[in-house]
Amino acid sequence: VCSFVLTPPPLMWSELNNPGKQKKKFSSFFKSLVIELDKELYGPDNHLVEWHRMPTTQETDGFQVKRPGDVNVKCTLLFMLDHQPPQYKLDPRLARLLGVHTQTRASIMQALWLYIKNNKLQDCHEKESLAVKKTACYDIDVEVDDPLKSQMNNFLSSTTNQQEIAALEMKIHETIEYINQLKTERDFMLSFSNNPQDFIQDWLKSQSRDLKLMTDVTGNPEEERRTEFYQAPWVPEAVSRYVFSKVQQRRQELEQVLGIRLT
C-alpha cells in the first residue's frame, strides 16, 4: 500500500519559547488541495484526491492519502492558499508595470494610483479621467433577444394574417399572369411591326394548318402539289378575298386585345 502524508514542519525555536501563542492548524492555510496521481496506474476515475474548505470544515494538522501499490508513484500537488484578505495575481504586463506580482486588492489599487500619479496620467481638467495616449476599439458579439421575434410568431400564428397572405399571393399570381399576357401581345405586335409581309404570310400558314386540324379537312394533296392548280382563273380573286378576310379578322382580334380601334 502506497501512502502520502502531508504534515507541517516542526516548530521553530521562537515558537517553542512562546507557548502562549495560539498555533494554527496546517489546513487553515489552504482553501483547497488537489493530489494528482499517475492516471495510467490508477485509472481516469481514481487518480485525483481533492480537499476543499467548507463552512463546516474541521482544521487538521495533516493529510494522509493511501492507494494500493508496490512501486514509486509520481504525484503532483496543487495548493490554493487561503489568503485573508484575498490576494490576486496580476497579468504579467501589469505586474511588470506596477512591480507587484500577487497582492491584495487594496495594495494593487494603491500601486496603480501611485503609477498614475508619478507619471502624471490624470487629465488636466477632469481629474477623474486618465489621459490615454493610445486608444483601441474592439467588437464583442453578445446574444440579445430579438424584439421582433414575438411579433413574427404572432403574425405567423394569426388566422386573419393567413387569409390576408393567401389573398396577396393570389393577387401576385394574377399580376404575373397579366404580365405574361402583355408580353405575348407585345412580342406579337413587335414581330408584325418589324416585317408585316412575312408576318402575315407566316400567320396565314399557321391559321391554315390550324383550320385543317380543327375541321379535319385535308384538301386534295395530289392537285395542290401541281402548279396548274394555282394558275386557274379563279385563283387571283380567291387569294385576294382570302387575304382580305384574314386581315380583317386579324384586325378585329388586335382591336379586342389592345382595346383600341385601328384606323
146/148 Cα distance (integer angstroms):
5
Query: Residue 13's pLDDT is what?
Result: 43
The whole-chain average pLDDT of the chain stands at 80
Is residue 219 within 8 Å of 212, Cβ to Cβ?
yes
Residue-by-residue DSSP string for 7-49: -PPPPPHHHHT-TTSPPPPGGGGEEEEEEE--HHHH-TTSSEE
Q: What is the pLDDT of residue 1?
A: 47
pLDDT digits (tens, 9 = 90+) for 96-109: 989 988 889 999 99
The pTM assigned to this predicted structure is 0.35
94 versus 253: which is more confidently predicted? 94
What pLDDT does 21 receive? 61
ω into residue 85 within 30 of 0, thus cis? yes
Cell 409581309 -> residue: 197
At position 74, the amino acid (one-letter code) is K
For 215, the grid coordinates are 375541321
pLDDT at 159: 66
Whether the CA torsion 252, 258, 260, 263 is positive or negative: it is negative
Place of cell 495594495: 107
